[in-house]
């Protein structure tokens, strides 16, 4: 089948049924059903178990999460709209680029979407939207390469769809618009490298698009790793501690603090581990260093209040708990502990 625009302009397409698009749809639906059976596709724990994008876990080395989110969906509405878009635009792109190129574009665009989200968006996320925006990017390349045919097939509709979805994503919460932007960029770059179904040869210009795509992905992944290195380290340490390996947990955090002495979160976790394992003096030392850097850190004052209360140093406990309430009067735990300290002091005075 050929699409004719004039006697001079036509394009060869892949006339076979869109097997890849249909297969991707089936995978998405099956995974959604499995997630629903496992506890619900909107359940955070189910999403995490099935491979949703969780930045701290990616930074911890779970790089497979850069690929798996594109096959997961959060709720049936999310699945329905993405399935509709995938079938509508996937069928067209698969015919224009051929099956192998289409699959590469789709997977690479999904990867780009996750990497952009990893760099710029913190919440857990999932969905085929990044890969679908990659199909939009592929069609933008088609517009550049075959403008006359593009105008006949799609006119201005594609630009309107892309613009509307990006604007909608920026004006609504809960939408990972960075994933959309990443997919769009990735789809255009990878399509510029691969070219259409009828093109078989590679030029230097096309290879440069591939190199640019690789550089963007490498920079993005390393940027995300650097951005979330502290959370990843703390998560690793807490996992070690939960598994009973306190020494490894302490060593991991201490090594991090050697290079990043101003890290409030890492020092707090180290102090908390020392406190829970009975190393009271070490806990107090770490938490005191923290307060020298940030005297308004409420969790540290609260923890020190508990530590001093457990050691019978009621005046010091009282000072820290009062500091907690001076910063945040709504913390009931501090208020309850203060009341118990005051009752103990009153009873001791009467005695």
Q: What residues does 11 pair with on adjacent strands?
A: 3
Nearest of 93, 73, 69, 94 to residue 82 by alpha carbon: 73
For the chain, the distance separating the N- and C-terminal CA atoms, rounded to the nearest angstrom, is: 100
- DSSP character for 6? S
Tokens representing 182? 């990443």
Tokens representing 45? 């724990």
Nearest of 309, 261, 268 to residue 288 by alpha carbon: 268
By the 8 A CB rule, do 262 and 293 touch? yes
Strands (DSSP E) found in the chain = 2-4, 10-12
Q: What residues does 53 pair with on adjacent strands?
A: 125
280 class by beta-carbon count within 10 Å (0-12 exposed, 13-18 middle, 19+ buried): middle
- 């919440």: which residue's tokens? 123
By the 8 A CB rule, do 3 and 11 touch? yes
What's the alpha-carbon Rg for the chain, to the nearest Å? 28
By the 8 A CB rule, do 166 and 177 touch? yes
Q: Is 180 designated active site?
A: yes
Catalytic residue among 117, 129, 192, 240: 129
DSSP SS3 for 53: strand
Torsion sign over Cα 302, 306, 311, 317: positive
Q: Is 310 designated active site?
A: no
Helices 177-194 and 157-171: angle between axes, nearest 10 degrees: 150
93 class by beta-carbon count within 10 Å (0-12 exposed, 13-18 middle, 19+ buried): buried
Tokens representing 177? 């618009």
Phi-psi bin for 16: left (phi > 0), alpha (psi -120 to 50), beta? beta
Catalytic residue among 73, 78, 109, 180: 180
Active site residues: 129, 180
């Amino acid at each position: 089948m050929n699409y004719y625009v004039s006697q001079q302009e036509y394009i060869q397409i892949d006339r076979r049924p869109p097997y890849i698009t249909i297969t991707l749809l089936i995978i998405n639906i099956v995974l959604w059903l499995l997630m629903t059976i496992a506890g619900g596709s909107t359940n955070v724990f189910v999403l995490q178990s099935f491979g949703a994008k969780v930045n701290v876990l990616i930074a911890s080395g779970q790089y497979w999460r850069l690929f798996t989110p594109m096959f997961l969906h959060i709720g049936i509405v999310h699945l329905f709209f993405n399935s509709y878009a995938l079938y509508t635009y996937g069928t067209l792109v698969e015919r224009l680029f051929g099956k192998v190129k289409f699959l590469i574009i789709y997977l690479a665009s999904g990867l780009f979407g996750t990497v952009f989200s990893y760099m710029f968006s913190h919440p857990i996320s999932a969905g085929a939207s990044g890969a679908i925006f990659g199909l939009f990017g592929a069609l933008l390349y088609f517009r550049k390469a075959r403008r006359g045919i593009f105008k006949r097939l799609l006119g201005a509709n594609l630009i309107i769809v892309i613009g509307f979805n990006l604007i909608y994503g920026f004006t609504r919460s809960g939408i990972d618009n960075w994933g959309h932007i990443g997919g769009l960029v990735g789809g255009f770059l990878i399509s510029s490298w691969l070219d259409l179904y009828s093109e078989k040869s590679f030029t230097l210009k096309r290879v440069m698009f591939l190199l640019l795509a690789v550089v963007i992905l490498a920079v993005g992944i390393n940027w995300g790793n650097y951005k979330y290195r502290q959370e990843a380290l703390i998560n690793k340490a807490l996992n070690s501690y939960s598994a009973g390996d306190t020494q490894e947990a302490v060593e991991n955090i201490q090594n991090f603090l050697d290079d990043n002495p101003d890290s409030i979160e890492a020092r707090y976790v180290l102090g908390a581990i020392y406190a829970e394992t009975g190393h009271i003096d070490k806990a107090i030392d770490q938490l005191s260093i923290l307060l020298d850097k940030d005297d308004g850190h409420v969790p540290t004052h609260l923890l020190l209040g508990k530590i001093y209360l457990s050691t019978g140093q009621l005046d010091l406990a009282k000072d820290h708990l009062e500091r907690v309430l001076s910063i945040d009067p709504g913390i009931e735990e501090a208020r309850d502990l203060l009341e118990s300290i005051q009752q103990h002091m009153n009873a001791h005075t009467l005695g």
